[in-house]
Amino acid sequence: MSDRATTDTLPGAAPDAAVDGLAAELREAVTTGVTRPRLYRAQQLDGLIAMLLQHTSRWEAALAADLGKSEIEAHLTEIGLVVSEARAAKRSLRRWMAATPLATPLALQPAFAKTLPEPLGAALIIAPWNYPLQLALAPLVGAIAAGCAAVVKPSELAPTTSALLAELAPQHLDPRSVRVVEGGVDETTALLEQRWDLIFYTGGARVARVVAAAAAKHLTPTVLELGGKSPAYVHRSADIPAAARRIAWGKWLNAGQTCVAPDHIRVDREVADELVEELRRATAEQLGDPRTSPDFARIVNGRHLERLRGLLASGTAVVGGDVDEADRFVAPTILTDVDDASAVMQEEIFGPILPVLPVDGVDGFIETMRDAEKPLALYVFARDRDAVRRVERETSSGALGINIAVAHAGAAALPFGGVGESGSGAYHGKHSFDAFSHRKAVLSKPTGLDTLRMIYPPFSGRRGRLAKRLLG
C-alpha cells in the first residue's frame, strides 16, 4: 500500500475496504437515472470547470511541486485544455446525445432505424503522472458527458496534484457519480477486481497488460492510452530551422515527459549536421539556460532521473548532457553517434534526451518502421509532397504530424489514441463522448401494416419464393 491514505479510508485501513463495492455503488447512479438528464451532465461539467477555475493558483502550485511545470505550461497543457474540453462538451451535449437516423433496407420498410447513445455505466479512469491533471480529468469530461459515473484514480507519482483532486472533487462534483480514489498499485489492484463497465487506462504498456487481464475477467471493454517510441523523420527537403524549432518545442515540453513527444529523430544523412546545429540554436532560443529557465520542467522523481542518466551513455551529448540530482534536473540533451542497438533506442525515453540518427532517404526511414512497434505518433518534416505521401501511406501510428510535432493533441476534433502496442480506443472532443457510450441499434416498425407477413413461415409456394428473394 502507498504511504498515503486513500480518500475514503482512515490511514492504515486496507485498500480493499476503501474501494469495496464502489463500482456497484456508482453503477446505481446510472441505472437509477441520476446521471442521465442532460441538465445533470451540464451541471457536473460546470462543477468540473469551477473546480479548475476557482482554484487555479492551487492547481498551478501542485503542478509546479510535482513536475516543476511553469504557469503557462500548466494552462496550455493541463488546466486550460480540460476547461475547453468541458466547455465544448457542455455546448455539444444536445447534439451528441441525439439519436442518429439511419437507412432501413427495403425488405423491412416501413420501419425506422437509428442509433441511440447510452452511457456504458460505471467507469474506472486510471491516470499517469506526466500530465496528472489533464489525463485524469479529460477522460472524466467524456464520462460525464456520456452520462456515466466514474472513479478517477490519479497517479501516486504526482502526489500533490492527486491530493488536490481528492480534496476538491467532492466540493464540486456529485459524489453519487464521481469519486477520486488515491493510491498506487494496491489500491488500483483492488479497484481492478471489481466489475466496471469501462476501464480507461493511460500509462505504460506493461501495466496496460495487467489492466487488460483484469478487464477480461468481467468482459469489460477498455480504452488503453499508451506510449512508445514516436519518431520524427526529417527529410532533406524539410525547412530545417522550422523543423528544429518545432521538434525542440515538442521534445522539451514537460522535459520530454510527454507521451507524444518526439522520442528520437531520423534525419536524411546529408542534412544531419545542419539539423543538429538548428536544434542547438532552437534550444538556446527557447530555454536560454535551461537550469534557470522557468519554462523547463523537472523529472518526476529520482528513479526516473537515474533511468535517464543511464541512457546518456548511449551516444555523444552534443548539447546538454548534465544532470543535477538535487534539483531533479536533466538538461535538454541532443545525442549523436547513437546505434539502434543502444539502450536509448530500446525503450521509450520519456525525458529530455533526443537521439539523432542518420538515415538514407524515405526508403531508409520506412524500413526502420517496418519491424518497429506502432507508435502513438509519428512526425514527418518535409516539403517534398511525395516523401510526405509515402510516409502517410506506408507507416502506421496513432497519429501523424506533418511538419509539426505534438500539436495534434490540442485539436479536439481529431481522435487521440494509439494503435497496436501504443493502445486502443481514442478520445478528445466528441470521441470522448463516444468512448464512454454504447451506440444502441434501434429498429422500430409500425404495426398497422404487417409487411413482414411474407417472411413468416410456413414457407411454401409463392410465399417461400418471395421470402427467399427479399431476404437472400
Residues lying near ligand NAD in the complex (CB under 6 A) are found at: 126-130, 135, 153, 155-157, 184-185, 188-189, 202-204, 207, 210, 225-227, 259, 348, 350, 376, 418, 423
For every residue of 44-102, DSSP letters joined together read HHHHHHHHHHTTHHHHHHHHHHHH---HHHHIIIIIHHHHHHHHHHHHHHHHHHS-EEE
**Cβ neighbours for 311, distance < 8 A, ≥ 6 positions apart:** 343, 344, 349, 351, 353
In the set 73, 85, 148, 259, the catalytic residue is 259
Nearest distance in Å: CB 434, ligand NAD: 16
Nearest distance in Å: CB 35, ligand NAD: 24
| Backbone φ, ψ for residue 266 (5° rounding) | -110, 130
Question: Looking at beta carbons only, is 168 or 192 nearer to ligand NAD?
Answer: 192
In 10 A of CB 88, how many CB atoms? 19
Q: How many CA atoms lie within 13 A of 314 on its CB side?
A: 26
Nearest distance in Å: CB 299, ligand NAD: 12
151-179 burial, b if ≥16 CB within 10 A, otherwise e? bbbbbbbbbbbbbbbbebbeebbbeebbb
Q: Which residue is nearest to ligand NAD (CB)?
A: 227
In the set 73, 225, 278, 421, the catalytic residue is 225
Query: What is the C-alpha to C-alpha distance for residues 209 and 449, in angstroms, rounded to an integer?
Result: 53
Question: Looking at beta carbons only, is 35 or 155 nearer to ligand NAD?
Answer: 155
- Give CA separation, 169 vs 6, 124, 151, 175, 176, in Å: 14, 15, 11, 8, 12
Question: Looking at beta carbons only, is 89 or 199 nearer to ligand NAD?
Answer: 199
Q: Are 399 and 414 in contact (CB under 8 A)?
A: yes
Whether residue 148 lies in the annotated active site = no
Query: What is the C-alpha to C-alpha distance for residues 449 and 430, in angstroms, rounded to an integer?
Result: 39
Nearest distance in Å: CB 152, ligand NAD: 10
Question: Looking at beta carbons only, is 147 or 401 nearer to ligand NAD?
Answer: 401
Question: Looking at beta carbons only, is 47 or 227 nearer to ligand NAD?
Answer: 227
Question: Looking at beta carbons only, is 27 or 153 nearer to ligand NAD?
Answer: 153
Whether residue 60 lies in the annotated active site = no
Nearest distance in Å: CB 227, ligand NAD: 2
230-248 burial, b if ≥16 CB within 10 A, otherwise e? bbbbbbbbbebeebbbbbb
| Backbone φ, ψ for residue 348 (5° rounding) | -65, 130
Query: What is the C-alpha to C-alpha distance for residues 55 and 144, in angstroms, rounded to an integer?
Result: 21
Nearest distance in Å: CB 135, ligand NAD: 5
Active site residues: 225, 259
